[in-house]
Amino acid sequence: MDAHVSPSRIAGRTRAPPSKSYTHRAILAAGYGSGTTVTDPLDSADPRATGRAVEAFGGEVVWTGEGDADDGSEGGAGAIEVEGFGGRPDTPDDVIDCANSGTTMRLVTAAAGLTDGLAVLTGDGSLRSRPQGPLLDAVESLGGRAESTRRNGQAPLVVGEAMAGGTVAIPGDVSSQFVTALLMAGAVTEEGIEIDLKTELKSAPYVEITREVLADFGVDTERTETGFRVPGGQSYGADEYAVPGDFSSMSYLLAAGAVAAADGEGVVVEGARPSAQGDSAIVDVLDRMGAEIDWDRDAGEIAVRASSLSGVEVDVGDTPDLLPTIAVLGAVADGETRIVNAEHVRYKETDRVAAMAESLEKLGAEVTEKQDSLTVHGGDTELSGATVHGRGDHRLVMALTVAGLVAEGETTVTGAEHVDVSFPGFFETMASLGASVSTE
């Protein structure tokens, strides 16, 4: 499916979808427990994959309310009723298909390490190209079995044989999801798990999201001098868990308001409740760039108006998902916008550094790409409509749609259906604010 975007002025009030990161963790935490109602979850393709994994391990996951389609394409559900597998997952009867969800693959890999038998995990072509080696090594060093069928550290994976826990050393600069997976699984092992980080932790706020969710389910974790520790022998328990709004998805709405809000009007985004989400940094980034933005934390609302933006330097070591959004803002801003500490952003659904450099250049932007940075020369940029490729990456599609709001002529973004991964209804939301956007 292609999205066609024309220059637009937008205004109005809307609501960000629920957090994908929190929804994933809440579903699996409920799976480790006995029975939980997860309210206000994101009903999209990725969380659905985590729900199927919980069912494969012996739990039951029932989505209620709106958006009941199996692919999650219709939007948020009212709630998820989860009957868990009581701490120890059963050996699955069949292969677990994680589809395109890297979070599912990594969280479920550690859970599979607890099974007495063996679980087989796979996914689509993109997911089968993403690195899992450090997590596989960790499961094996903790007493389980974990192998890549192609012996390249990538899915398909074979995992199981009841890892016992203990101390493990892993790199912190590949994916914070390795830490999350081990903390979640370690709580129900006998020994617990202590994680020593061999390198600096990237995307650290995502681990704090995990610790926040685990605390809400009654599971204790702690920081150590060299990493994290979760004591063993714990139980997950929460009758109800409410998912907060998603700041990663919110970033596209806020960026759209900052570059394309109608004169004298603005965009108000609801659902911005403070949480551990690192991507709430988008508010600070926009403020530093000169946007007229106000966050009413008590009300959970952010208002933004179109403003003259200026380039800044942004370190995305903890906020990799913001790179596409910031790159688009940089193309509209005066001066240079330098996005640094970005090498780990190359290992997402696609190489987002290279993909944004290529796409922005097609739209007429001047960019400089290095291994760990992307500089957008806004002062030398005039955006013009072109056909740009989403590369099967929901975040690229949404960021490039924002660029299309201010590019001269029509912009076509291919692979637009991939917004269903994290923001079903994204194009409908943009249209409701007045954006000239259509899909076919």
Check residue 325 and give left, alpha or beta (phi > 0: left; psi -120 to 50: alpha): alpha
The residue type of 61 is: V
Quick one: which H or E segment has residue 378?
A: none
CA dist 129 and 122 (Å) reads 11
CA dist 19 and 244 (Å) reads 6
Q: How do beta strands 96-97 and 60-64 pair?
A: unpaired
Annotated binding site for 3-phosphoshikimate: 20-21, 25, 175-177, 203, 321, 348
* CB-CB contact of 102 with 76 (8 Å): no
Q: Which entry of 46, 246, 321, 420 is annotated as an active-site residue?
A: 321
Check residue 429 and give left, alpha or beta (phi > 0: left; psi -120 to 50: alpha): alpha
* CB-CB contact of 411 with 400 (8 Å): yes
* CB-CB contact of 314 with 337 (8 Å): yes
Q: What are phi and psi of 121, to 5 degrees?
A: -120, 135
Quick one: which H or E segment has residue 303?
A: strand 301-305
Q: Clarify whether 298 is annotated catalytic.
A: no
362 Cα distance to chain centroid: 26
Annotated binding site: 20-21, 25, 102, 130, 175-177, 203, 321, 348, 352, 395
Annotated binding site for phosphoenolpyruvate: 20, 102, 130, 177, 352, 395
Active site positions, annotated: 321
